[in-house]
Structure 1
Amino acid sequence: MEAKLSSDGSKSFELGDVECLKEVGYGNYGCSHYRRRCKIRAPCCNEIFDCRHCHNEAKNSMDTDPLDRHDIPRHEVQKVICSLCDTEQDVQQCCINCGVCMGKYFCGKCKFFDDNVSKNQYHCDECGICRTGGEENFFHCNKCGCCYSKLMKDAHHCVQRAMHHNCPVCLEFLFDTMKDVTVLACAHTIHLECLEEMQQHYRYSCPVCSKSIRDMTNVWRMLDREITSNPMPAVYQNKMVWILCNDCGANSHVNFHTIAHKCLNCNSYNTRQTRGGPTASCSSGMAETVL
């Protein structure tokens, strides 16, 4: 298939089978974020970019004047430029000049194109954006304000606008992130890779509410043995302190120990010292080390 130059200098294609237009240039155009056969004109600064992420990275870089930094209003995009024939036109799936399909997946509401349909993209009207993973595999929770896997439908705990905030570790906005997001047992959300990095550094509590992020039974048993084998000096053996459990919220009056303090209600060591003891930070400091 060969491109021909028209009188105005633009490229056009002659095809016997219109369906073949879906494959013209497939996989050869796009950026690191998306494979697609068009670019967008940003309505905010009137510049051309491969996609909204390319725009946001360029306009929020350290080289950009802080007063000029901004994100593209994705739903306000009105013009796209065909990557094959360079024709600028209104947002639509097929080029008005050469007829090529500019994205096998196309959403007119989001002004979004993507040639990689293996992501099983779908548009969620409640979220107002396109998501990946297949519409049949997700449900939208109106209270949380986002889509969750149907595997969680009967078990997830609702948190108002659960993903309409930044990741508590890397501070990237979670609602429209391209990275995998996971939901903790406490219902707070976080990037999966950020969670994995936390655990590599032996941090097992939610950065938002401090509840344990997984079953810590084996760790608590280890601490039981550690405390038993390391009794406090006689001067501290009758010293009592008040603690607050991060997991169940109960207050307990327990023997002071420099390693950790155990909740009398749920047996968790994810606790913080609130009153008493030689220093106010001994127990909470250890809890931070463990969790």
Structure 2
Amino acid sequence: MADEGTSSLQTNPLDYEKSLHGCNHYRRRCKVRAPCCNQIFSCRHCHNEYTNALANPKERHEIVRHEIKQVLYSIYVAQICTNCGVKMGEYFCGICKFYDDDVSKEQFHCNDCGICRVGGGANFFHCQKCGSCFDVKLRDNHTCIGNSLKNHCPICYEFLFDSIKAVTIMACGHAIHLDCYNELINQDQYRCPICSKSVSDMSSTWQRLDQEIEATIMPEEYRYEIPILCNDCHNTCKAFFHIFGHKCGHCKSYNTRRIGTTDDSLERRA
């Protein structure tokens, strides 16, 4: 009979593990939210012991028990309360302990990321090398960099992996917030803030520069070669100086930088 009673107690959610929860002061399966500081404690005595030990005397206070209006169920996390039947959220993740009633976000849990994301599981894939979820449009269409999202945005410096803002991958493989990327482009900045490679296909821009350079002849005293380094292919070469840009002789990119001074160029020319 004793065994039957124990079994009944364990399977009845209303009596769930009565003797295993609470604090040194009371055995209970809930916690209280203190109306004075909005913090959660197992009981009013736990609250008073904590607050009266604060280093700043002005922060010390005691709870007024009659003003307590909220208690929190503290046994196990579930989508539906086993006692009253209230659904805590239309979306529930038992791993992340996450609730949300706005299912229009299309939340889903990624086991590889270990967190919940929004946008619909069918619209994303997890790249094992990059260590994060990306839009399916980027499957086999992006440069992989190990754990690329477990870094900070190079513009706003917010940690990217668990950011709630949309993230995109630049052509070089580095990640950036989509809003920050758009702002970068609006400011006519087309280099990755991390590696200086072109952030997208710039072939049409390079063609336009070809036409502008061909139509703008430099004065005789500025017609000399300078050594350049290409940020896109990392090769070095020489190019004729021009105010509009210097074209890489290997990949035809204008995303280049000078690696010699004017004096050096004039000396070699002489």
Q: TM-score range by the shorter chain?
A: 0.5 to 0.7
Cα shift at 1:181: 0.7
Q: After the TM superposition, list the runs of 4 or more consecutive aligned residues in structure 1 that deviate by more than 4 angstroms.
A: none
Residue correspondence of structure 1 range 131-280 to structure 2 within 5 A: 131-237=117-223, 239-278=224-263
Q: Separation in 2 of the partners of 1:96 and 1:279?
A: 80
Q: How does 1:31-110 map to 2 (within 5 A)?
A: 47=39, 86-90=70-74, 91-110=77-96
Q: Secondary structure at the match of 2:257?
A: strand
- In structure 2, C-alpha distance between the alignment counterparts of 1:47 and 1:175, rounded to whole Å: 29
SS in 2 for 1:275: coil
CA distance in 1, matches of 2:239, 2:261: 10
1:278/1:111 CA distance change after superposition, 3 Å: farther
8 Å CA contact 1:122–1:130 kept in 2: the answer is yes
The 3-state SS of whatever aligns with 1:94 is coil
* TM-score, normalisation: structure 1: 0.63
Shift in alpha-carbon separation, 1:47–1:143, aligned structure 2, 3 A: farther
Distance in 2, Cα, partners of 1:47 & 1:207: 42
Between structures 1 and 2, the one with greater helix share? 2
The amino acid across from 1:270 in the alignment is N
CA–CA separation in structure 1 for the residues paired with 2:263 and 2:162: 47
Residue 191 of structure 2 aligns to which amino acid in structure 1? S
Q: Which has the higher contact order (CA 8 A, sep 6+)?
A: 1
User: Number of matched residues?
Assistant: 200
1:215-269 per-residue CA deviation (whole Å, 9 max, x = no partner) reads 22222222223223332222221x2211111112221111122321111111111
Larger radius of gyration: 2
- Write the deviation string for residues 97-118 of structure 1: whole angstroms up to 9, x where unpaired: 5431111111121121111112
**Alpha-carbon separation, structure 1, partners of 2:167 and 2:220:** 49
Structure 2: segments with no counterpart, 5+ residues: 1-32, 41-68, 266-270
Aligned CA distance change for structure 1 residues 234 and 269 (closer, same or farther; 3 Å)? same
Q: TM-score, normalised by structure 2?
A: 0.68
| Equivalent position amino acid for 1:166 in 2 | H
Query: Structure 2 vs 1, CA of residues 246 and 142 (structure 1 numbering), >3 Å: closer, same or farther?
Result: same
For residues 259-284 of structure 1, the C-alpha deviation after alignment (integer angstroms, 9 at most, x for no partner) is 2111111111110111242599xxxx
Q: Does structure 2 conserve the Cα–Cα contact (< 8 Å) formed by 1:89 and 1:96?
A: no
Determine the C-alpha separation between the residues in 2 that align with 1:87 and 1:100: 15
Q: Contact 1:123/1:129 (CA < 8 Å) preserved in 2?
A: yes
Q: CA RMSD in A?
A: 2.4
| Partner Cα separation in structure 1 for residue 178 and residue 206 of structure 2 | 25
Work out whether residues 240 and 276 of structure 1, in 8 Å CA contact, stay in contact via their aligned partners in 2.
no
